[in-house]
Structure 1
Amino acid sequence: MSLISSVIEFGKKKSKELKREVGALYFAYKRNDVAWYAKAFAIIVVGYAMSPIDLIPDFIPILGYLDDLILIPLGITIALKLIPKEIMEECRKEAEELFKNKKISGWIAGGIIIVLWLILILFIINKFYNK
């Protein structure tokens, strides 16, 4: 096996793990036994991971993909430290079942992302105009 194919396989494995963790964070966000600040951080990470809008656009050479390679895993790591391990294990099982049993519609995911961005924009506008 060549080095390139090994790197590709490693990337695919890590990509699947990140997808599972993002799904688990979404399920953790929906739970009542997770602290509000952990929920808030988790939904920000999920929203950024699923969002087509990046802090640094992907068309910028190297930097465009570095934000995805650094920010998403860093966000996931921080969110995992905020949520108890037992809860995350349950959420990972839920996420695995979801990805195993059915495909998530791109339209549904896109709609959720658009709603999250609109809420964020409205919140910012409200803060600036109601000082």
Structure 2
Amino acid sequence: MCGAMTGKSLSERIGDLGHRLAVEAHAAWLAARDPRTPLIARLLAVAVAAYALSPIDLIPDFVPVLGWLDDLLIVPAGLWLVRQMIPDPLWREVHAAAELASERPSSRAGMAFILLLWAGLLYLVYWAVRTSPWH
């Protein structure tokens, strides 16, 4: 039998890669906040983690092929560079914490609260514009 039939599907492998990159980005963020991390590594870790976790990309994803280059090249390369700058014991510590955090279930109540908060703020802005004397 073909080995590909017993392995993971492409979508499962892509999901695993996405999970790994998210854990690595979270570990970089944790390392950036740790005073034991060298300063240059802290600065790079903040930049890479913020970019990796940001919904805004250098090249928008809707641009064919080029839109995925940052996700497939820039982020992993930045994470690799950050990893090279952080001492092994510290990296193992922050990586374990990031892995543990990724295994915790997300809070639907927390997400609902944040969405309601944003909706409320948007309504306040709408109301302020509608009742403004300049409108």
Distance 1:50 1:18 in 2: 10
Large movers: runs of 4+ above 6 Å: none
Partner in structure 1 of residue 47 of structure 2: 44
Q: Does 1:14 align with 2:37?
A: no
Higher relative contact order (CA 8 A, sep 6+): 1
Q: Does 1:63 align with 2:66?
A: yes
Partner in structure 1 of residue 27 of structure 2: 24
TM-score (norm 1): 0.72
Amino acid at match of 1:72: V
Distance 1:12 1:42 in 2: 23
Distance 2:30 2:55 in 1: 21
Amino acid at match of 2:13: F
Distance 2:83 2:49 in 1: 12
- Which 5+ residue runs of structure 2 have no aligned equivalent? 115-135
Partner in structure 2 of residue 97 of structure 1: 100
Distance 2:5 2:66 in 1: 27
- How many corresponding residue pairs? 107
Distance 1:40 1:103 in 2: 28
Secondary structure of the structure 1 residue equivalent to 2:9 = helix
Distance 1:14 1:62 in 2: 18
The answer on whether the counterparts of 2:61 and 2:68 sit within 8 Å (CA) in structure 1 is yes
Distance 1:17 1:57 in 2: 22
TM-score (norm 2): 0.70
Task: Give the root-mean-square deviation of aligned CA atoms.
Answer: 2.3
Give the C-alpha shift of residue 7 in structure 1: 2.3
